[in-house]
Structures are given as structure tokens and as C-alpha cells.
């Protein structure tokens, strides 16, 4: 994982020169790496290792905080993160060696912190699958998976096998039931009804599955009634855990997201600019109010407290927020239809 304040390594020599494949407008290239497992040294993170089978992500989320990782590959255009995907080619022996180290030390592994491990390309490339097959050969791995992708259903049987001898938890990310809004925000991710079905099938398969309502977007996905409906559907699907974080905006995501707000929701642009003028995090009364809403809904729908999500909600100090900031009149919701 690449962390704020850490000098950017030059990764360009690791890039494959040839394009493996084009899928629509997305180009896939090879990326040589010693291991799929990378050490995470930040004490703020609730894990010690990360696995990101790809660099870049074709889901296209407007708010994606991982966009900056493409800068280390020489990219200067934020949108490249979604259009130019690097498929990792590791040395399986080195990945296996690091996996053994993580098991021996009881360290936690997060799969999918800077890319979606089940983005569309995974159906053919299978990098995530190959990593999980290594995990399945071991005992005592502590693994957390975060995804929006329905391709995870391909691996249900493999995940069940892993769960028999290891500690594996899965979060499916879904921030709203509003399908037209989700299509604008996360243009190439599965629609909400598909992700609810993914949650239902994972839970029915006996896997430890939670919903990640992350990030909550001020003015767009923060209404209590909408969150209530979303968590109600997740609970019906058999989900038992909830993680959530607020929108985090730093460059180049900040500029990219604000360009999108300006084009799609210009009435919120000034409020966003003010709220994120001094910090990448939104804190203060707005954040406290949102936290109390989530606590209320967590109890109402019977979700267990998710420690990782709680930590990320509580960790960051920041400037006083404007309580009234996000309360301009909002348009009526568009009817939710499944494409
Ligand atoms: S799914 Fe995750 S990694 Fe992929 S674009 Fe969306 S936020 Fe970024």
C-alpha cells in the first residue's frame, strides 16, 4: 500500500510494454511484481498486509480514493486509473513465502484496498482466484475482502473451503439503493439489486459477510431514510455486519470528484469546496450527527459492530464542520429501476 507522505517509487520499469487485451475502452497490461502480498506499515490501518491483484480499477467510481496510485506509473490523468489496468504477474513462491510469514505472525491481510479484486477483468485474468487458491492450502490465514463485484460468486465454493481452516470476512460495498444515482457514481459497478443478491448468496453459503456503506457522500447518500432502507435490505439479505466511512478527498481524487459534482450537482459545489478546503476529511458536528444515525440504524437492523469501520470513522481529527452545510433543498429521487 502506498501511503500519504511516503516518497513515490518509480514503478514504470515494471510495466509490460504490450497491451494484453482491450475490453471496451479499458486496456489491460502486465505488471511484474515479486509478490501479491505487500507489507502495510501504517499503524492507522487494521491490517498488516495488502493484496491488490490489479493496479487501476475499471469500476469507475467518481470518488475513488485510490486514483493517485497511477501517478507512480507515470500517469498524469486521473481517469487513467479506470481505463488502463495493470494485471499483476507475481512470483508465486514469493507470494507463498510472505503468506507463511503472515500466518506465523498472526497478521491480517486485506484483499482489495486500492483496486477491486473482483472487477470485470478478474473473470478472465483470475489473479484474485490464484491468490485465494494459495490461501486455501493454508491454515490460520486472517483475510478480509472488500468488493463491489459479482464475480465473487464464482469463488463461493473456494471461499467456503478457505473458511473451514482460516478466518475470512467479506464486505460488499454498496452506498445507495438509488440505481440511477449509482450508475452516475459508479458507472461500471453492478447495480444495487445485483449487489444485494450477491450479499444474499454469500450469506446463504454460510460466509461471514458484511455491507460496507463507504464512502457516505454528503448531500447525495447521507439521508437517514435512504440509509435506513439500504440497511433494511441488507439485513433481509442475511448480512450481519456494517462498516462505513465518510468521503475522503485528496488530490487527485479531490479535483476529479469536484469536476464531477460541478457537472452533475452544481448546487453542491460550493458547499463541498468549503467543507474540504482545509482537510481531506469531513469532521465535526456533521460527522457526529451521521455517526449517531448509523448507530441508531445499526441497532434497529441488528448489525454487529464492525471494528474496522468504527476505527476509520473515529480516527481522524479535523476542523469544525458546518452543521447546516449539507441541507440545501434536494431534488426528488429518480425512480429506481434495474437496467
Ligand atoms: S471499486 Fe473501489 S477501487 Fe474500484 S473504482 Fe470503485 S472505489 Fe476505486
194 lines ligand 1 (CB under 6 A): no
Ligand 1 atom at minimal distance to the Cα of residue 60: 5
pLDDT along the chain (339 residues), means of 10: 44 64 86 95 88 96 91 77 94 98 96 96 96 98 97 98 97 98 97 98 97 96 97 96 93 94 96 91 86 94 67 29 35 29
Residue 90 Cβ < 6 Å to ligand 1? no
Q: What's the gap in Å between 107 CA and the centre of ligand 1?
A: 25
From the list 87, 260, 282, the residue with the least C-alpha distance to 185 is 260
Residue nearest to atom 7 of ligand 1 (CA): 64
Cβ 217 under 6 angstroms from ligand 1:
no
pLDDT at 322: 30
Q: Say what the pLDDT of residue 12 is.
A: 60
The residue count for the chain: 339
- Which of 66, 150, 198 has the most ligand 1 atoms within 8 A of CB, as the residue to mutate? 66
| Residue pair 1/40 in contact by the 8 Å Cβ criterion | yes
Ligand 1 center to residue 57 CA distance, Å?
6
What is the structure's pLDDT at 85? 94
Q: Is the CB of 66 under 6 A from ligand 1?
A: yes
Q: Which domains does the chain have, with CATH numbers?
A: 92-314 (3.80.30.30)
Question: What is the Å distance from ligand 1's center to 327 Cα?
Answer: 27
26 lines ligand 1 (CB under 6 A): no
pLDDT at 14: 60
Given phi > 0 = left and psi -120 to 50 = alpha, else beta, which region is 104? alpha
Ligand 1 contact, 116 CB (< 6 A): yes
Residue-level pLDDT at 13 = 57
CA 104 – ligand 1 centroid, Å? 31
Find the Cα–Cα–Cα–Cα dihedral 312, 294, 286, 249, rounded to 10°.
40
Q: Is the CB of 64 under 6 A from ligand 1?
A: yes
Model pLDDT, residue 337: 25
256 in contact with ligand 1, CB cutoff 6 A: no
Evaluate whether 121 touches 59 at the Cβ level (below 8 Å). no
Q: Is the CB of 115 under 6 A from ligand 1?
A: yes
pLDDT at 283: 74
**Distance from Cα 19 to the centre of ligand 1, integer Å:** 22
| 75 CB near ligand 1 (under 6 Å) | no
238, 199 contact by CB (below 8 A): yes
Place of cell 489473479: 127
Of 105, 104, 106, 113, nearest to 38 (Cα)? 113
Ligand 1: which atom is nearest the Cα of residue 149?
Answer: 1
Give me the pLDDT at residue 16, please: 62
Q: Where are the beta strands (DSSP E) in the chain?
A: 15-23, 26-32, 37-39, 49-51, 54-55, 84-89, 108-111, 142-147, 167-173, 209-216, 241-246, 304-305
Amino acid at each position: 500500500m502506498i501511503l500519504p507522505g511516503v516518497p513515490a517509487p518509480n514503478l514504470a520499469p515494471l510495466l509490460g510494454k504490450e497491451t494484453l487485451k482491450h475490453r471496451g475502452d479499458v486496456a489491460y497490461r502486465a505488471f511484474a511484481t515479486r509478490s501479491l502480498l505487500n507489507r502495510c506499515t501504517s499503524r492507522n490501518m487494521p491490517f498488516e498486509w495488502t493484496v491488490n491483484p490489479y493496479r487501476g480499477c475499471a469500476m469507475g467510481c467518481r470518488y475513488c480514493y485510490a486514483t493517485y496510485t497511477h501517478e507512480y506509473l507515470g500517469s498524469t490523468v486521473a481517469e487513467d486509473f479506470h481505463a488502463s489496468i495493470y494485471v499483476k504477474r507475481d512470483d508465486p513462491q514469493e507470494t507463498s513465502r510472505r503468506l507463511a510469514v503472515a500466518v506465523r505472525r498472526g497478521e491480517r491481510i486485506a484483499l482489495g484496498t486500492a483496486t477491486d479484486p473482483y472487477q470485470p477483468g478478474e473473470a478472465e485474468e483470475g489473479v484474485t482466484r490464484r491468490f485465494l487458491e494459495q490461501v486455501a492450502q493454508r491454515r490460520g490465514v486472517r483475510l478480509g475482502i472488500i468488493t463491489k463485484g459479482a464475480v465473487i460468486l464464482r469463488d463461493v465454493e473456494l471461499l467456503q473451503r478457505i473458511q473451514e481452516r482460516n478466518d475470512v470476512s467479506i464486505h460488499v460495498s454498496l452506498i445507495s439503493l438509488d440505481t440511477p444515482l449509482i450508475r452516475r457514481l459508479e458507472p461500471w459497478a453492478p447495480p444495487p439489486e445485483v449487489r444485494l443478491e450477491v450479499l444474499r448468496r454469500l450469506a446463504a453459503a454460510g460466509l461471514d459477510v458484511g455491507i460496507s456503506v463507504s464512502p457516505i457522500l454528503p448531500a447525495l447518500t447521507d439521508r437517514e431514510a435512504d440509509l435506513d432502507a439500504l440497511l433494511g435490505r441488507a439485513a433481509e439479505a442475511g448480512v450481519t455486519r456494517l462498516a462505513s466511512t465518510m468521503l475522503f478527498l485528496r488530490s487527485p481524487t479531490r479535483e476529479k470528484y469536484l469536476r464531477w459534482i460541478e457537472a452533475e450537482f452544481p448546487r453542491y459545489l460550493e458547499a463541498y469546496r468549503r467543507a474540504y478546503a482545509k482537510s481531506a476529511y469531513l469532521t465535526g458536528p456533521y460527522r457526529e450527527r451521521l455517526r449517531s444515525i448509523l448507530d441508531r440504524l445499526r441497532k434497529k437492523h441488528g448489525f454487529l459492530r464492525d471494528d474496522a469501520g468504527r476505527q476509520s470513522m473515529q480516527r481522524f481529527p479535523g476542523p469544525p464542520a458546518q452543521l447546516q452545510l449539507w441541507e440545501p433543498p434536494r431534488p426528488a429521487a429518480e425512480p429506481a429501476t434495474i437496467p
